[in-house]
Amino acid sequence: MSRGFGVAAGLDPGVASPLAGRCQELGYASIWSNDHPGAKGLDTLADFARGADRIELGVGVIALDRHEPAAIAADLERTGLDRERIWLGVGAGFTKKPLTTMREALPTLREQLPGVRLVLAAMGPKMCAFAGAEWDGVFFNWMTPEYAQVAREHAEAGAADAGREPPPVMGYVRTAVGSGSERRLAKEEAFYRDLHKGYRDHFDRLGEPEGTVGVAAENAGEAQTELSRYRALDTVVVRALASATIEDMSAVAEAAAPGA
């Protein structure tokens, strides 16, 4: 199991670049940004790249209802990112037929983004199996350790049906550390629980009490214990719930660091 560190897109470059450098020093294998209507994840990755020269860079995830593959390719060219360092996560967003959308998009994504490792955002059984069968990686979001294991099994079954080795399984684990950690996790989770039908269905499948999916820890030791439960993930991406300052983000990175 490796560790990644994740933030929201649009993090100030004066925070993003030194944060990437700090994560590289701490032994993180990768650093990730999401992508949302207010900021592009690839721009935040470019800021990461200016602060760290070795750590892998991931965007999780770009929604294809907002970005055409050609536009993603143009952004990748504009930012000058090294394609060999990138894990590029994509998802269906608010589309009504997400599985169909992603099946139809994959050939175009391969054509438009040669040399980039393509990762599929997957939650339901069919999407997980499809990710295992045809993509370079599988990306989970808002899962308990137990459900992540079930979802991984679906991905592995898809890979077996396709006659290939399973791709790596990665996922965000929302992580808050210190005073107010439970409140921060509950606030973040509440936003996603009713974001769209896919998330509503997903949280219904989980059947977990509100505000409990992720890690809310009083200290580093507790955070490490909880993160270690996500054994189903090849890469646990610690999605930091903290103020967008170098001090607060670094504090979470240090508490959740691999080997800490």
| Confidence tier at 78 by pLDDT (50, 70, 90) | very high
Would you say residue 124 has pLDDT above 80? yes
pLDDT, tens digit, 9 for 90 and up, residues 31-55: 999 999 999 999 999 999 999 999 9
Q: What is the mean pLDDT of residues 81-108?
A: 96
Q: What is the mean pLDDT of residues 80-107?
A: 96
- Residue 197: the pLDDT is 87
- Residue 101: the pLDDT is 96
Q: How many CB atoms lie within 10 A of CB 187?
A: 13
- Residue 240: the pLDDT is 98
- Contact call for residues 234 and 2 (beta carbons, < 8 A): yes
Q: Which two tokens stand for residue 55?
A: 């750590």
- Contact call for residues 106 and 100 (beta carbons, < 8 A): no
- Residue 259: the pLDDT is 82
Give Rg (Cα) of the chain: 17
| Confidence tier at 123 by pLDDT (50, 70, 90) | very high
**Sequence ranges of the domains in the chain:** 2-255
Would you say residue 183 has pLDDT above 90? yes
Q: Which two tokens stand for residue 37?
A: 């209507």
Q: What is the mean pLDDT of residues 57-78?
A: 97
Please tell me the CATH code under which domain 2-255 is placed: 3.20.20.30
Beta bridge partners of 2: 235
